[in-house]
Amino acid sequence: MTKVLEPVVAMMIAMDRNKLVGRGGQMPWHIPGEMAYFKSVTMGKPIIMGRKTYDSIGRPLPGRPNIVATRNSDWTADCVHVATGLDDALTKATIPKALIKQGHRDILRLSDARMPGTPYGACVLHLAPESYIGGPLALLKTGDIIRLDLPARKLDMLVDEEEMTRCRAAWTPPAPRFARGWGWMYSRHVTQADKGCDFDFLEPDFGKTAG
């Protein structure tokens, strides 16, 4: 079965024993090496901050996509991605930088997996059959186009049937990961999303009844 790993969101907080984190828009202490540590941990990763925090810094932090969350829809700053709130900021943090530069503000995620929690953006989940057993996603290649029609509730792979036939013929199932235990039982007996994602042996017509 397919598993999707959600992006890791980490929060860095510096505070004293009285839980003070700032005073007058400034840090109330100076610890040698603290900012160097912060830079080493965050370099190359999207960093999310509120507008007041950004104002206290006064400039974008170099080497990291800077995402500033603010309720002020007119607020702008050079080299900064503006978000309307935390959800919007998390969505922007998960979009490739190249797409953000092209003006994209969301990216559609397609998955045959279960995705608990907040996916931070537009998602179509529980596609069936799963790619693990040769479903449509297993036949996709980089560059293939998918069309989503929400009013018609349709999801189409814009790949001609001849190419799909070649892909199906070339597809081979992945090697089994589990020979026993929960993983073996799950992969053998959990039904596809369109059939409820439940154990097939719980269905009334599975196997012979006792006695």
pLDDT tens for the chain, 211 residues long, are 444 445 567 788 888 888 888 887 777 888 888 889 989 988 888 899 999 889 988 999 998 889 999 999 899 998 898 988 887 888 778 777 677 677 776 777 788 876 655 455 677 888 889 988 998 889 988 888 999 898 898 889 898 889 989 999 999 999 988 999 999 999 899 999 888 889 999 888 887 777 6
- Domain borders along the chain are 1-104, 178-211
Cis peptide before 129 (omega within 30 of 0): yes
Q: What is the pTM of this model?
A: 0.50
Other Cβ atoms less than 10 A from the Cβ of 112: the count is 23
Residue 21 φ then ψ, to 5°: -115, -15
The CATH number that domain 1-104 falls under is 3.40.430.10
CA atoms within 13 A on the CB side of 22: 8
